[in-house]
Structure formats: C-alpha cells, structure tokens
C-alpha cells in the first residue's frame, strides 16, 4: 500500500524556519517525481514546489522562490521542504504528493497519492 | 501563469442526479488537466488525469472530457459519498495551477 506521511509542522514566528519531511513507503520512491502542495485554512489548493525523481530539477512557485528549498533522499525514501524566512501567508496544511510522470520541467503529470498533511502556523 | 476557472463554485443536487462541473483554462493546455476530490478534513484524491483517464479504483460514475481550454467533470449518478469539493489542475506548464474548487452537496 502506498503511504506518504508528512511531519515537521508546527508553530513558528515570522522570519523563522522549519523543515518538513515526507516519508514514503509502498512504492518505488526513486521512480516518482514529488511535490509539495499547500492549503491555507478554508482556502483552495496551491502547488508549492516539485522535484524530479533524481533530485536534479527543483521548481518553485514564485510566492516561495528563494525562501523554500525542496530536496529528496532516495536512499531514505524521504522528501524534504526547508522553509526559511517564513511569513504569515505561509500558514497552511502542507501535503506531499507523488507524480508518476517525470518529464522535463515536471510537466504533463498528476498527483496520484497524497499524504494527510502537516500544519504550519506562522504567527507571533 | 495559467489561470483555471471552475463553475459553479457550489451546487446542490439530489441523489441520483447527473452533475457536471466545468473548468476553463485561459490558454490552451491541450489535454493536461486533472481532477481531484477533497472530502472535509481529508487529503485530495486523484479522480481523472489527462482530461479523461479514470484513475484506478475510482468509480465509473466519474468521467472527464474536454481539450484545449474547456473541460468537464461529470458524476453520472450522484451518491451521498460524493459530497466533497472538486478541483481541476493543469499540468501543461509550471507552476501547476488549480481551479478555485466546486463544493458539491446533497439537496
């Protein structure tokens, strides 16, 4: 059974940092591109970042570029999101999602499995 | 960025009704359109990918159609367990963008 489990969320002050993790099991992690998608309280879905299966091609939404860094460790079946210089508008439930389509610029794919999410709250 | 617009924003229908949700892109995305279902308090779930391909395990009452800029998700016979918010999402270009969602409930 495919399982994705996020961790690392919590309450952080504006300007602070957090590192999210997503542990994957039940599928060949290194064969999938991976993404982070967030959902602010009561709002819709927003794609945040994606990374190729090799880890060599990360992409970001403009709203997080330069502050958030996606990475992966295929030997540990784990996806990461390093979050720096956090702002109130980063407050959201952060989901990791797998994508079976690994193409240039991570195009043409879809999010076939999702974790339950981890909540990040940025507030003083 | 490609903008995705869904309509309606919400709808109420009776059990057994045929329900259709529309998603429009502001530029041609060919067939790179996916649909997700999100039940309250849960993570989204993939229903349809590449405009019309049914994800494994998804009931056949769900179907998708369309190409270029106009797409639809149809539930052929609405069931109580289909109460959820539905999102379209394009994967033609980065950033991947979602529609604002369509909330479906039972009349």
Question: Which of the residues B42, B96, B98, B100 would you substitute to probe the A interface, choosing the one with the greatest number of A C-beta atoms within 10 Å?
Answer: B96
The chain B residue lying nearest A117, using CA atoms, is B43
Q: DSSP per residue over A18-78, as a string?
A: EEEEEEEESS-GGGSEEEEEEE-TT--EEEEEEE-TTS--EEE-TTTTTTEEEEEETTTTE
Do B34 and A110 form a contact (C-beta atoms < 8 A)? yes
C-beta atoms of B98 and A47 within 8 A: yes
Among A111, A116, A117, the strongest candidate for a mutation testing the B interface, having the largest count of B CBs within 10 A, is A111
Q: What are phi and psi of B80, to 5 degrees?
A: -55, -35
In three-state secondary structure terms, B106 is: strand
pLDDT of residue A3: 97
Q: Return phi, psi of residue A81, to 5°.
A: -140, 105
**What is the band of B16 on the pLDDT scale with cuts at 50, 70, 90?**
very high
pLDDT computed for residue A106 by the predictor = 82
pLDDT in tens, A74-99: 999 999 999 999 999 999 999 999 99
Separation in Å, CA of A49 to nearest CA in chain B: 8
- Given a cut of 90, whether residue A12 has pLDDT beyond it is yes
Chain pair A-B, CB pairs under 8 angstroms: 63
Higher confidence at residue A56 or residue A9?
A9
pLDDT bin (cut points 50, 70, 90) of residue A110 is: very high
Would you tell me how many other CB atoms lie within 10 Å of the CB of residue B7? 13
Which tens digits make up the pLDDT trace of B32-77? Answer: 999 999 999 999 999 999 999 999 999 999 999 999 999 999 999 9
> Which chain A positions have a beta carbon within 8 Å of B94's beta carbon?
50, 59, 105-107
């Amino acid at each position: 059974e495919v399982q994705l489990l996020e961790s690392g969320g919590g309450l952080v002050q504006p300007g602070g940092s957090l590192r999210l993790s997503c542990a994957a099991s039940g599928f060949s992690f290194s064969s999938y591109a991976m993404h982070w998608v967030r959902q602010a309280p009561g709002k819709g879905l927003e794609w945040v970042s994606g990374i190729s299966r090799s880890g060599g091609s990360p992409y970001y939404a403009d709203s997080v570029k330069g502050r958030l860094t996606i990475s992966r460790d295929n030997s540990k079946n784990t996806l990461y999101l390093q979050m720096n210089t956090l702002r109130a508008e980063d407050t959201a439930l952060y989901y990791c999602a797998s994508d079976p389509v690994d193409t240039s610029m991570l195009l043409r794919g879809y999010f076939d499995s999702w974790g339950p999410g981890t909540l990040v709250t940025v507030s003083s | 960025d490609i903008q995705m617009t869904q309509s309606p924003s919400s709808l109420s229908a009776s059990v057994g009704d045929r329900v259709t949700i529309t998603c429009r892109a502001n530029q041609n995305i060919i067939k790179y359109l996916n649909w997700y279902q999100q039940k309250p308090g849960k993570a989204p779930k993939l229903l349809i990918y590449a405009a019309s391909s049914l994800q494994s395990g998804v009931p056949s009452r769900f179907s998708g159609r369309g190409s270029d800029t106009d797409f639809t998700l149809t539930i052929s016979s609405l069931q109580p367990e289909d109460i959820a918010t539905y999102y379209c999402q394009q994967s033609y270009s980065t950033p991947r963008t979602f529609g604002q969602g369509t909330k479906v409930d039972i009349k």
